[in-house]
Structure 1
Amino acid sequence: SHYFITLFLLLYHFVCVRGAQVEQSPPSPQSLIIQEGEISVLNCTYEDSVFSYFPWYWQYPGEGPAFLIAIRSGSGVNTSEGRFTVSFNKSAKQFSLTITASRPGDSATYFCAASAQCSAGPCSPYPNLQLRLQPNPAV
């Protein structure tokens, strides 16, 4: 039987409260429904060139966000861990998460973040977009 996997993407910027300003843009796609085994690509863009660390998180319903994978702007264009790859395009100010061989367990809410390498103390999450999980009528 075929499983449909629903991926939701939320964008969170992590900014220093020292006065860094962030211009936000919506991530794409905001929701994605794919079949098991397919490749999923989630994209995020950012505006502030001071950002240098770009982590991805995922969250299951009823649980808190969990770290998934990250890339630093000076570490190359791709970082992979298992089926997950994060790609970084500095000139386009975009970073992407690719999931190969998608599984039903990948159905979650995904968060992208951008950080300006500040210590944990003076940084705080800045919410940009909130989405609600909706049941997939095709399943």
Structure 2
Amino acid sequence: MGKLLCASLLILWIQADWVNSQQKNGDQQQVKQHSPSLSVQEGGISILNCNYSNSLFDYFAWYKKYPAKGPEFLISISSVKVKNQDERFTVFLNVSAKHLSLHISASQPGDSALYFCAASAQCSPGTCTLYTNLQLGPRQPLLWGLRLGGTQTRFHLHTAVREGVLQSR
């Protein structure tokens, strides 16, 4: 008699939109996320990627938001570091590639939320000017005051447990 396999599959669906920050000269500075979906087993590592186009950005933060609640700060990194870790969250930054990623270890159902990748520049008078005239993508009505755009990644969590078969929905 064979053993029945009981497994739990955690599937995270990512909906990526972006927010543009307009400068006076018409150039758009964007922070955006590219992955359309992510599927990991419960307990696995979730990786969210974010790219930015403004080389003046030197501070990066990740936030998550649960429905009907305000955004919650997760972790940040400055341009002088390549890695920052806080419990299950690790952020990696590659300044030359203008790329950062958030790694969530031991993924769990409670990780299902709306995630923001945000970037900003620390400026002294006369060194740079940043404008926060945010233009939202068509599906997102509000950015809750985060500066200079950010990636909005919605995780739709589905778990399926079935004997003998690892199943996804």
TM above 0.5: yes
Contact residue 20 and residue 28 of structure 2 kept, 8 A: no
Quote the residue 1:56 is aligned against.
62
Cα offset for 1:8?
Answer: 3.6
CA shift in 2, pair 1:44/1:66, >3 Å: same
Quote the residue 1:96 is aligned against.
101
State how many pairs are aligned: 136
Quote the residue 1:68 is aligned against.
74
Quote the residue 1:87 is aligned against.
92
User: More strand per residue: 1 or 2?
Assistant: 2
SS at match of 1:105: helix
Contact residue 52 and residue 98 of structure 2 kept, 8 A: yes
Report the aligned-residue RMSD.
Answer: 3.4
Quote the residue 1:41 is aligned against.
47
Q: Distance in 1 between matches of 2:87 and 2:95?
A: 24
- Stretch of structure 1 that moved more, 39-48 or 127-136: 127-136
Q: Percent identity?
A: 43
TM-score normalised according to structure 1 size: 0.76
Quote the residue 1:111 is aligned against.
116
CA shift in 2, pair 1:128/1:44, >3 Å: farther
CA shift in 2, pair 1:54/1:20, >3 Å: farther
TM-score normalised according to structure 2 size: 0.64
Contact residue 8 and residue 42 of structure 2 kept, 8 A: yes
Quote the residue 2:37 is aligned against.
31
- Structure 2: give runs of 5+ residues left out of the alignment: 1-6, 125-129, 140-152, 161-167
- Structure 1: give runs of 5+ residues left out of the alignment: none
Contact residue 53 and residue 73 of structure 1 kept, 8 A: yes
Q: Radius of gyration: which is bigger? A: 2
Contact residue 57 and residue 66 of structure 1 kept, 8 A: yes
Contact residue 85 and residue 99 of structure 1 kept, 8 A: yes
Q: Distance in 2 between matches of 1:125 and 1:60?
A: 25
CA shift in 2, pair 1:14/1:70, >3 Å: farther
Amino acid at match of 2:102: L
